[in-house]
Amino acid sequence: MKESSMFPSRPARSILVAAVLALLGTIVSPPARSGLAYQTPDPVLVDIIDAPKTPRGRIGPNREWMLLRHLPGYPSIEELAEPELRLGGVRFSPRTNGPSRSWSYEKLSLVRIRDRTTVPIEGLPEKPRIENARFSPDGARIAFTQTVRDGIELWVVEIATAKARRLTPSILHLVADEPPRWMPDGRSLIATIVPEGREAPPEAPLVPDGPVTQENLGKEAPARTYQDLLESPHDEALFAHHLTAQLARIDLEGTVERIGPPEMIWSYDPSPDGRYLLVEALHRPFSYIVPAYRFPRRIEIRDLDGAVVQTIADLPLQEEIPIAYGSVATGPRQVRWRADADAQLCWAEALDGGDAGAEAELRDRILLLEAPFADEPAPLIDLPLRFRGVDWGSDDLALVNAYWWKTRTVQSWRVRPGSPGAEPVLLVDRSWEDRYNDPGNPVTERNDRGRPVLLTSPNGEAIYLIGDGASPEGNRPFLDRFDLAERETTRLFRSEAPYYERPLVLLDPEARAILTLRESVTEVPNLFVRDLENETLAPLTSFPHPYPMLVGIEKELIRYERDDGVALSATLYLPPGRSPEEGPFPMLMWAYPREYKDADAAGQIDDSPYRFDRVGWWSPVLWLTQGYAVLDGPTMPIVGEGDAEPNDTFVEQLVASARAAVDEVVRRGVADPDRIAIGGHSYGAFMTANLLAHSDLFAAGLARTGAYNRTLTPFGFQSEERTLWEAPEVYFAMSPFLHADKVNEPILLVHGEADNNPGTFPMQSERFYNALKGHGATTRLVLLPHESHSYRARESILHLVWETQEWLDRYVKEAEKIAP
């Protein structure tokens, strides 16, 4: 019998309920704000947070020198509170004309690889804020940017003398986060600088000229939930003012030669031969629903005087890209220089209208266009999947990489750029979920123009591959030689227990010696030179153990099964000096769910029991010092095989995975079932809230920077491609906000007040807190001032750890203990 039109259908009722509850969330009063000052946790936790950070290495051309970049401690809240503008999805400092949330270095030093001599770099400014350190193509110099109070300077280091000197005053313009680039001769750099005589930024009108309006004339323009978008004509004016910059060439004497007029430069890159500039510049109309990277833009080839040689494309506003994963804009995209040629462009164009949801035999065409750019572009290859990038080698060798989200497929094709009619050869065709059969990534090196190209064997017949080496016994990184003609692989190196050793750089084309990063559970990662021919190993660095208080922790990679047969794994830690026989302990589980199309792939191990643990505010390993056992990364696979979508049974699979983890640690006698907490960050926070709403497995929850109401992300989230209107039951079932009445365990909600991650607006935590409070739950909301999706300020981090310590001690450690 036909259902009466007086009553909505079940999907319509679900949408109606979700919409009403979402509306109720908007009208609930905001949470009470306390005047609590920043707090400090246990001193041992402070010592871990403040532990010196291991320097980061970068190998220079010719593999002669390695640059070490030394990180300072966490910045202060005062630094984080400095003025910041958030426009068009871009966050920047109006005072310095650069990114407002980047990480800087406080010191640079050099290590000569052949004799392992460390050379400090002299002449650095006092209390430097160093970023964008890059070797020149010939390896004779390093350029870097230095942020000062009123702007950004350009500096250079002469490697022969290990001395730094300033090239320019604070004139660099890095709002678009495009660092200076070396010209191929290594004698000058191309950079964007502040326009001469720039006027003051436009002031906000005291009285508006009229309402802010938006209009759509029947076109579908679905957009995910972006943040920091433009909202008014004044925002548009501010964005245009602050993004406008001027290209310039800066030589080693500090002479600045301006190139072309000021404009909204989004990206730029000199050609490998140094004769041309590839420039992308934004223009109006702007958008209030998508970020700047989807604004209209002109892609042009210019000479070094700034004159336009050829316009590659003038792309319109990209508001109408379909929502299906793998959808792209039409027209040229990923326009890049071919790394191994003088001046040849490569780009992709969609053959399916850019719509990944449309049926199509071919998805993308890859095109080449050579200087002087007057001819029609020549096709290189037509792809059945979506283009991802090219590894360039020579006229006879390039690897074109493609992917397809729906099937989790990746492909790699060998092409011959110098022979347009040559038939492409398919080298790789696999699921990226199948980590056990991942062949690794091709090894590249910088050529004499500073461009990354494939490293081949001396005869040119083989390439090298470095991979994680996922296996049932854990990750074992490897180095392989791959014969291109025979398509056969020869293993040159594989990490051996009890170490985790990853090849980084081949020190010669014959792969006789490699630079590796070697670590173990008790040994901090250090760089080594491994001679494969003579089977010797020599340390290049000797970084100390940063956490002596964690020496002696028990660590084990454990395996267990879900009730549906899906294999699961996790890393189990016991407090220092404690054995399983001394359990059960109070426990913290920290996890993050992931979606899969294949159950067997979901059960594969993707970790190593031999890695050294980097411990910071984000790490659950912190809590070993407080007497807790820790289960880190218990896998929470959400599987949807065939035509099924993973999220159709999200809650059921999530609870089943969590139950299997709890059962395993209880069976082992290391966890008290009444004193286990669950926690996670971002999608892990979403997971935490769902587990507390739909199970009684945990004593308490820790949820950081999550999203809890999926009706506020109606055009998809995480790996969910369907919209709210296509799958209302899924959005309803997966939204812990809509099940707040079922949460009967204490939950600590933490969120950065300036979170700019798509979908995780701070109001997600605020509304969830209000819903929980309205139903009498035990909950606490902590909003960290000036913090984004991740946290930066030392005061914020220490307070976060204090809040966590108080919560765990009160609701987990001191909870009713298991009966003897």
Could you give the residue numbers annotated as active site?
682, 755, 789
How wide is the angle at C-alpha 277 spanned by C-alphas 271 and 281, nearest 5°?
Answer: 135
- Among candidates 103, 82, 188, 732, which has minimal Cα distance to 450? 188
Contact 158, 141 (CB under 8 A): yes
DSSP 322: -
The residue whose two tokens read 């934004």 is 282
State how far the Cα of 755 lies from the Cα of 603, in Å rounded to an integer: 33
Phi-psi sector, 509: left (phi>0), alpha (psi -120 to 50), beta: alpha
- Among candidates 384, 346, 381, which has minimal Cα distance to 363? 384
SS3 108: strand
Beta strands 700-704; 671-681: pairing state: parallel
List strand residue ranges (DSSP E) for 416-483, in order. Answer: 425-431, 441-442, 444-446, 452-454, 462-467, 478-483
What's the token pair of residue 495? 């990490």
DSSP labels, 672-722 = EEEEEEEEEETHHHHHHHHHHHH----SEEEEES----GGGSTT-BTTB-S
What's the gap between Cα 817 and its chain centre?
40
Q: In what order do the strands lie in the sheet with 117-120?
A: 56-59, 65-70, 107-112, 117-120
Contact 593, 586 (CB under 8 A): no
SS3 92: strand
- Interacting residues of 299 by C-beta distance below 8 A, sequence separation 6+: 278, 279, 280, 311, 312, 313, 314, 315, 332, 335
